[in-house]
Structure 1
Amino acid sequence: MEDFSLYLPGIILAYSAFLLGIASPGPNILAVIGTSMSLGRKSGIALALGVAGGSFTWAVLTVIGLSALLEAYSSALIAIKIFGGFYLLWLAYKSFKSAAAAQDIQAKQLSGGTRSPFGYMVRGYIIQMTNPKAALSWIAIISLGMKQDAPLWVGVSIVVGTFILSITLHTLYAVAFSTPVMVRVYGKARRYIQATLGAFFAFAGIKLLLSRN
């Protein structure tokens, strides 16, 4: 129980970073929204599941890679946390910049014509796996939850928890944004959401830079 309470704050912080990151629609989310609006929920959900699968793969690869790196070079954790901290501060800057901008989100259907649901699922997976920002984001997320000599269950809990969140939230995007009215509602709240995200990412980045283990 003592070990659980030791690692729980970092795990929750990793969940929070992932959750709020999804709350700020990037190209993948906008593709899900646009596909849902143009072709219906079925295609949007299929694309969302593919994106969620890609997120899961990135999470597993990141945990395995960081665990192997830390096992070989324990001092590497310092460099990882510095990188993760500055990346989170960069995300904070991007969120504040987006909050100050006047334009709303622009959801567009994917190019290349219509596909079967399985085709959209594969497309979503490929989109996520070929997104270099996904790798950077997962390094920052995992480094929030990983401490020096963290047991295996910490990484597993982060991967499983974020995968559940990913499936749930990406699917909710596909269902909720299958009607244009939801895009307009989100557009009105966009600045407040982005400002909140900026504050959280700034907090998480500073916390990561100041952490010692």
Structure 2
Amino acid sequence: MQETYVSGILLAYAAFAIGLFSPGPNIMSIIGTSMANSRPAGKSLALGIATGSFLWGTLTLLGLTSLLTVYASLMTIIKIAGACYLFWLAFKAFRSAGRSKRQELSSISLGNNHWAYYRRGLVIQMTNPKAAFTWIAVISLALDHAAPWWVGLSVIAGTSILSTIGHLTYAYAFSTQTMITAYRKARRWIEGLLGSFFTFAGYKLLTSDV
């Protein structure tokens, strides 16, 4: 049983980490801000977004744990919903891989007030409704109605570290045009791999024991 939980936790880590390789508006804002303003500004924005990710994860875990304490049968519905969202992410990745149009960068300019960049990143992440669905899918990969307390905490702790490292990496590495150009050349291959992984993760979630 312990091995089952460990494999689920590792799969949750992998799904979260792979998701960081598919830049959405948040990450494109980090990249654009790092390029247009400065690397420190991008770092502050990245830390705000990572903090928001941690808060979403914590709120999702507390909510799911509370629901499962009262309604253990809800785990089946939650896993189906999580799997459907992973399949949706796979569809989006495959669709993006099939397109030649590149995603445009967006930048945020708040002067040299790095605390303001941090707050903006936090607000951006906390007002993103898709974050809740992402976290339900990620946590469902590791959780079931009988999971001990350390399983959820392990997911939150590990993904928080991955989120901080991943978002800061974008601020550091993609603050130069060279990295942007290299990523855009490989984007369609990356999106194709992401689609394959999300399909696999959704299948694992649907076929896992509840």
| TM-score under structure 1 length normalisation | 0.96
Q: Which amino acid aligns with 1:175?
A: Y
Residues of 2 paired with 1:65 and 1:77: CA distance? 12
- Show the counterpart of 1:172: 169
How far did residue 130 of structure 1 move?
0.1
- Show the counterpart of 1:89: 87
Residues of 1 paired with 2:174 and 2:198: CA distance? 25
The total of aligned residue pairs comes to 210
1:140 aligns with 2:150: no
Alignment equivalent of 1:73, drawn from 58, 71, 74? 71
Moved over 6 A (4+): none
Residues of 1 paired with 2:198 and 2:71: CA distance? 27
- 1:73-120 CA-partner distances (Å, limit 9, x unpaired): 000000000000111000000000000010123212126x53510000
Structure 2: gaps of 5 or more residues: none
Residues of 2 paired with 1:198 and 1:6: CA distance? 25
- Show the counterpart of 2:120: 123
Residues of 2 paired with 1:149 and 1:212: CA distance? 11
Structure 1: gaps of 5 or more residues: none
- 1:164-202 CA-partner distances (Å, limit 9, x unpaired): 001101001000011111111000010111000000001
Q: Tell me, what secondary structure is at the counterpart of 2:141? A: helix
How far did residue 57 of structure 1 move?
0.2
RMSD: 1.1
Q: Which amino acid aligns with 1:192?
A: W
